[in-house]
Structure formats: C-alpha cells, structure tokens
Amino acid sequence: MPLNDCVRAILCGPLKPAQDALRQLIQLQITLLQALLAQLEASLAAARVILAPIIIARDAAITARESILSTFDVLPTSLFAGCVDLGTLVIDIRSYFDDVTAPLDRAILEANAKLTVIDELQAKIADVSRQIDHLTAILDVLVECPLPDQIL
C-alpha cells in the first residue's frame, strides 16, 4: 500500500536516530500482529474442525426443510377447490407445514448462531492483515528515507 508524498516527507523528516527508533517500534508491532494473526488462523482452523458436525447437521436440516416444503407445491389443491375454500385449505396446509418444519427452523437458527464464530474470526484475520500491510508500508518508507547527507 503506497503512501503519499506528504506522509513520506513527515516520516523522513526526523533525524536518523528518531527514524531508527520508529522503525524498531513498527517492526515490533508487525511482529506482535503476525503472532496474533497466526493465533487467529489456528483458532479458525480449530473452529472449522470443531464446528464441522454442526455445519453438516445444519445443511441436512436445510435439505430436509426444503424437501418438506417442496411437497406443498405438488399437492393437487385444485382438486379440492369444489369441496373446500381453496384459500382456507392453503392456509391450513401451510400452517401444518410450518408446524412440521419449526424444529428444523430452530435447528438451522441455532447452528447459524454457533457458526458466527467462523465469520468473526475471518473478519479479525482480515483486520489484522490490513494493519500489518499498513505498518509494512510505513516501514518500507522509513527504509527508503535518504540519509541526512543525501538530502542536500
């Protein structure tokens, strides 16, 4: 991530001892962030392994729910039109299917809530990676700064 000329001028303005101290501080921050990144990536890998059964169960529940609801579409409701009010029949059938799929809906919601940890870890990993990239860009500028005798 390139930094603009104003930032470069500010970073290269201090004397060499100040630049060296800043360079060391930034390098330490990068090292700490890389350690945090490694820990987050390990946590993500562990979470994926631990949560694999939940993912499988959630996907099975979704498939079962879709299968149950698809049977509603193949019911020959037009055959009942002369016998009962079609609107009432559809509402009653839909209510029945809602009752049947309610446990599956709850299981899916609970699984998704448990799986948010994966999304949260991925977001943290992306954030730490952006911080490392930004600090690395600053460090690159400090390394490229001319020595005081090269400025004139």
C-alpha of 119 from chain center: 3
> From CA 53, how far away is CA 121, in angstroms rounded?
19
Q: What is the mean pLDDT of residues 121-130?
A: 97
Average pLDDT over all residues of the chain: 84
pLDDT in the model for residue 91: 73
Do 144 and 13 contact (CB within 8 A), yes or no? Answer: no
Which is more confidently placed, 100 or 148? 100
pTM for this one? 0.67
Under the banding of pLDDT at 50, 70 and 90, the label for residue 83 is low
pLDDT in the model for residue 152: 44
Using a 10 angstrom Cβ sphere, with 0-12 exposed, 13-18 middle and 19 or more buried, the burial of residue 60 is middle
Segments making up each domain of the chain, as ranges: 5-147
> From CA 35, how far away is CA 39, in angstroms rounded?
6
Query: Over the stretch 35-58, which tens digit does the pLDDT of each residue have?
Result: 999 999 999 999 999 999 999 999
